[in-house]
Every structure is written in structure tokens, then in C-alpha cells.
Amino acid sequence: MELKEVKKTYRSGPIEVPALRGVSIRVAAGEFLAIAGSSGSGKTTLLNIIGGLDRADSGEVLVEGKNLQLLSSGDLARLRLQRLGFVFQAYNLLPVLTALENAEFTLLLQGVPVARRKERVQKLFSEIGLAGLEDRRPGELSGGQQQRVAVARAMVTEPALILADEPTANLDSGTATALLKVMEQLNRAHGTTFVYATHDPQVMERARRLIRLHDGQIASDVAHAAPAP
Amino acid sequence: MGVLVLVKIGWRNLWRNRRGTMLTSLALGLGLALLLISLGLLDGSHEQMVANGVRFGNGHVVIQARGYQETGSQELLLPAGVVSATEAFLNTGAMKRVSRGMSPRLMASGLMSSAVNADGVRIMGVIPNDERAVSLIPERIVAGDYLGDDQQLGVVIGADLARKLGVKVGAKVVLMTQAVQPPGPEAMVAGGGEMQSALLRVSGIFRTGIQAIDAHVIQVPLPEAQALLGAPGRVTQVAILLQGEGDALMVAQGLRKRLTGAPVEILPWRESMPALAQLLVLDDAFNYVMNGVVLAMVGMGILNTILMRVIERRYEFGLCLALGQRPAQLAIMIVGESLALTAISLALGLVLGLSVQHYFATAGLDLRWFFRSSLPSALVFDPIIYSRLSLMRIVSSGGIVFLAATVISFYPAFKAARTKLPDALKVF
């Protein structure tokens, strides 16, 4: 994934708010990358643009060689479904579906047959400690369990890239650490690239590469040593 | 993603807010119930109006001399042989099954006077047994007896006429009329055109509740009327009563073929009693308008509920779109939700509506709470209305409600499909 001089400005009547002021990043396959910054630094905007949920005003956004700026809405939706995974800060799951149904939702959208869907989801659930919770509705799961289901849903389509926008923001530190360990484990086992936004220092430490944003610009881009599993 | 999965999700979404779903279902169900009850009473009252109207009037089919419908001239009489030809026709295989009876009648205007008063009357010369099979007047005798074959000088009159003339059963009255002068070669029968009178004894008094009949119609034996009017062997019309009004057109067409060339007009009841037919059309139109208003109001309720739910779930839709769901699939999900809501409402409405309709079908709705005096002459009315609801009405009413709800759901579905990313994902 590569961004070249990406700029984004939000306009509300006469008021203009620059969210990104020329951001350039290159992310290799298999990276475990955190984007840090205070509120308003442009983290969410950056993730939205990488994920095709929003369009940059200028610059290039390349995901697996495709320039997202040139794709139609339909093509972006297909890209998100087939090559990207998303984990949001909260309310990740559809409340009327069970944990299993939520996790297989993207496979349903892809038209994968039921037997194959169940097999993949069950395997992931076992891998990330959700076995036995398949039939529970989100309201019957803890915050950490819900986020794990969201991670399972993001993983189940075997995407190239998973984008997580402050996935641990609503979790206590212990649960947050456990979730990050799951993400790391999946990153190592499957080689899936993880890019997640955070403003939590504890969470930042676990990233193998940390990009800091400040006022819509990259303030630093540092590689870390891998933390203890 | 299959449509069934989307509908399943839509169905489950309905029950996130059970109370809201049940309230909306009840509202729509009540609308359908009112529609069914209203249509049942409408159809039942129309059926009764037609059944009574033809039996107080000209029957389901009437054969008259050509021009009689327009002029009402008592000079216009049916050619000889029409009555026997009609009788023969109605005794054939298929016609026998659909016909209940026929009554030849000689109609004229006259004056009836008693010792106390006098009034204009509409004379009907009838064969009592035949008239019993066709008309309701013989069943509405409130004093004395209906005409019998041996009562050549008897007359039955309406209760309002009896009160005006100050007569009771057994009283003598004088009937005066003008003998007919039929056109053509049969003109100049003895006494043709001159005033004739007869002294009659009131054998029975009837009350139909229809002022025009109770105040002006009298019935005498046909031979007496023929003698009075100087028209031996002649009648004005043959009124035919059928098993059901649906056969009227078929019988009329059959009779036209059978009586080809005869100077007659053969009219189904809609043509011989246009006022009744128009009344039913007007009544239908009014009911449809009222039902349309009720449906529109209920539809607004559904629209409000579904639209509110779409607006409340904006984030959820944003999530689905972010995951790669197509806008069209979101729209199908919303339509599925609306259809599920409609299905529940239809079930409630059918249970409620058909229960009440069944009560009105058996016990009837008594309108005497509202009508204290005789009914207006423009209406042919039984005060107790029995509901009649056909399967076609039930299916079409349910279908209309279902279709309306489906169409109504398109706007919220469209709105859901137009959810904008990434704005919809902003939680805080």
C-alpha cells in the first residue's frame, strides 16, 4: 500500500479544515503498523482514505497496485469486500446476528457457500479464543469478545490489509492487550498486513512500526523491535 | 448475498423494538380490519338492496312493450303470446335452474277513493300465485290477507294509503282509471279511453317501509285489472326473478334471442331500475374514497415507523457499506423489513376484520338505531344489514394493503441505500 502526497480538506460552508496536508507512506505486505496521534491529527481520515471509505482531494492512494482515486464507488466497494478488512472503534457488529453470523457476514456478501463459510469461521474462532460463543448475540458478549468477532470478520475473507480505527479505545487495558495479541498472532500466522490507529501509548508500544501524525502531517515514522508475545 | 438472508435480517431487525413493531402492526391491522368490515357491510347492503329492489320492482329481468321504460304509458302492452313464450323459455333446462319465478303484470295509474278521502294510485294487476314467487309485497301483509284466486273483487293496499283513505281490512273503496287505447290495429276496444271504475273490498294491507310503495301501490287480481282497463288477455310487463343477479344478463340475452322480432324491450335490472344501479355506484365510490383515506393514514404510519428506523440505524448501514455490501442489498433489506411488518399487520387485520365481519354476517348490523321513521323512497333498504365478504374481496383488500406497504417502503429503502460514507460512521 502506498500513499503519495495525499491531501484532504473538509469544508463546511466558508470554513475549511485541512485533515491531511500531503501524507506519503509506503507499507509493505505483512507489516504491523500503528498510526498514532492526538484527536484531530488525521488518523481516521487517513484510514478512511486507505480503506476507500473516503476520497483524497489530491495525491495517489495505491492498494495492491490499484489507484483508489480512479476507482468507481462500486469498484471501491468490491475492493473493500475482497481485499480489505475493517475493525472500528465501537458498534462493529450487527445486533440482530449471532457472533458466527456476524463473522461470516463478509463471506455471505461474497457468496461463499454455507459449509465453507462455517468451516472458515469456526477455524478462526478456535484460533482467537471464541470457540463456544458462536450462537451469542453481540449483546451477550463482552466488549473484548465483540472486538474479537470483528477481527474474525475482518480476517475471514483472507484480506491483504486490515484497517482498525482505535479498536481498543473502549476496552480496559487488559482486554486491549489481549486483543492486540490476537491481532499480532494473526499477523504472524497469516501474513496479513495490519494498520491500526490509536492514541493509547500502551497500544502504540506493541506496533512494529509507529507513524505519528500531527496536524495532518507525518511527524515521525519509526520501526520498533517486535514486543514480547 | 441472497434475498432470503436479507429478508431474515430484516425480520430480526423488526423485533429489536417489539413494542414499536406491535403498535405499528396493530395500526395497519386495524386499517385492514376496518377495510374488510366496511367492504363486507357494503357488499352485504348492496346485495340486500338489489335483492329487495328487484323484488319490490321489476325483478331481475323485465319484458315490456318497446318504449315503456321511457314513457311509462299504460297504452303500451305486450303483444299476445309473449307471456307464454317467456314461460316456455324459462322452463327449458338451463333456465329452470337459474329462475325462481315470473309474474305477468298489468300496470296503470288511477284514483282510489274512500268515504273519507281519495288519492292517486299505481295499479298492478297480478296473478297472486305468480306474484308471490317474484314480489315481496305478499310477504309484507300486516293486516288481512294477500290476494287469493277466489278474491276477484279484492285489493291489497299500502299502509300509508290505508291511513290516508281511513280504511281498514274489509272496507270498500272505489278504483277509477282510464281504459287503455293500445296503438295499432287493436285500437278502439270497447270503452277504450273512457273512465272506468270498480268497487273493491280491501282484503289486505301491506307495509314495505318504502314510502313510494306504501302510499301509492295497490294490487288487484289480473282479470279484474284487465276488465277495468279494457285489455282482456293483455299485460304491461313480465317480471322475472332469478336465483342470483349474476344471471340477469345471460337470461336477458337468451330472451332477446327467443323473442327476436317482437316489439319488446328486455331489460336486466340495472337498465330497468337505473336509480338503484346509480345509487350502488355512488355508494361504492364514496366507500372507496373513505377506505382510501383510511389506508393513506395507515400508510403514513408505516412510512413514519420505517423511516425512523432507517434514520436511527444510519451507522449500521454505514458499517454494512464499509464492509462491501451493495446499496441495492441494503434497500432490499429495508423493503424486506417493511414487508415482514406488513405480513404481521395483515395477519392481525385478517383475524380482527374477519371476526367482526363474521359477527355482522350472522347477527347483522341493525340500522334501526339510526332510522326512526320510514326509509326514504329512493332507497330499498332492509334495516338489518348482513355482511357479505367474498374471497375475492379479502384477497384484493389484502393485496392492496400489501402493495401499498411495499410501495411505501421504497422511500426509506432508497434513503438507506443513499447512506454516505464515511459520514455515517461518525459516532462521536
Q: Which domains are present in chain A? A: 2-223 (3.40.50.300)
Spell out the SS3 assignment of chain B: CCHHHHHHHHHHHHHHHHHHHHHHHHHHHHHHHHHHHHHHHHHHHHHHHHHHHHHHCCECEEEEECCHHHHCCCCCCCCCCHHHHHHHHHCCHHHHHHEEEEEEEEEEEEEEECCCCEEEEEEEEECHHHHHHHCCHHHHEEEECCCCCCCCCEEEEEHHHHHHHCCCCCCEEEEEEECCCCCHHHCCCCCCCCEEEEEEEEEEEECCCEHHHHHHEEEEEHHHHHHHHCCCCCCCEEEEEECCHHHHHHHHHHHHHHCCCCCEEEEEHHHHCHHHHHHHHHHHHHHHHHHHHHHHHHHHHHHHHHHHHHHHCHHHHHHHHHHCCCHHHHHHHHHHHHHHHHHHHHHHHHHHHHHHHHHHHHCCEEHHHCCCCCECCCCCCCCEECCCCCHHHHHHHHHHHHHHHHHHHHHHHHHHHCCCCCHHHCCC
| Chain B residues inside the 8 Å CB shell of A91 | 315-316, 319, 427
CB contact under 8 A, A95 and B427: no
Which of B322, B425, B427 has the CB atom closest to A80's CB atom?
B322
Give which of A91, A135, A157 to mutate to test B binding, by max B Cβ within 10 Å. Answer: A91
CB contact under 8 A, B427 and A89: yes
pLDDT value of position B4: 79
A112 touches chain B (CB under 8 A): no
| Chain A residues inside the 8 Å CB shell of B9 | 94, 96-97
Chain A with chain B: Cβ pairs closer than 8 A: 60
pLDDT beneath 50: ranges in chain B: 186-190, 377-378, 428
| Chain A residues inside the 8 Å CB shell of B16 | 95-96
Searching chain B, which residue's CA lies closest to the CA of residue A80?
B324
Q: Which amino acid is at B306?
A: I
Q: Which amino acid is at B379?
A: L
Q: How many other C-beta atoms lie within 10 A of the C-beta of residue B376?
A: 11
Tell me the nearest-neighbour CA distance from A10 into chain B, angstroms. Answer: 12
pLDDT value of position B225: 93
pLDDT value of position B152: 65
pLDDT value of position B242: 95
B16 touches chain A (CB under 8 A): yes
pLDDT value of position A225: 58
Measured CA angle at B341 (ends B335, B344), to 5 deg: 140
B316 touches chain A (CB under 8 A): yes
pLDDT value of position B209: 84
Question: Model's pTM, two decimal places?
Answer: 0.73
CA distance A99 to A96: 10
pLDDT value of position B188: 45
pLDDT value of position B183: 53
Question: In tens digits, what is the pLDDT along chain A, a chain of 229 residues?
Answer: 999 999 999 888 889 889 999 999 999 999 999 999 888 888 999 999 999 999 999 999 999 888 999 999 889 999 999 999 999 888 789 999 999 999 999 999 998 999 999 999 999 999 888 999 999 999 999 988 999 999 999 999 999 999 999 988 888 888 888 888 888 889 999 899 999 998 888 888 888 999 999 889 999 998 875 555 5
A91 touches chain B (CB under 8 A): yes
Give which of A68, A71, A88 to mutate to test B binding, by max B Cβ within 10 Å. Answer: A88
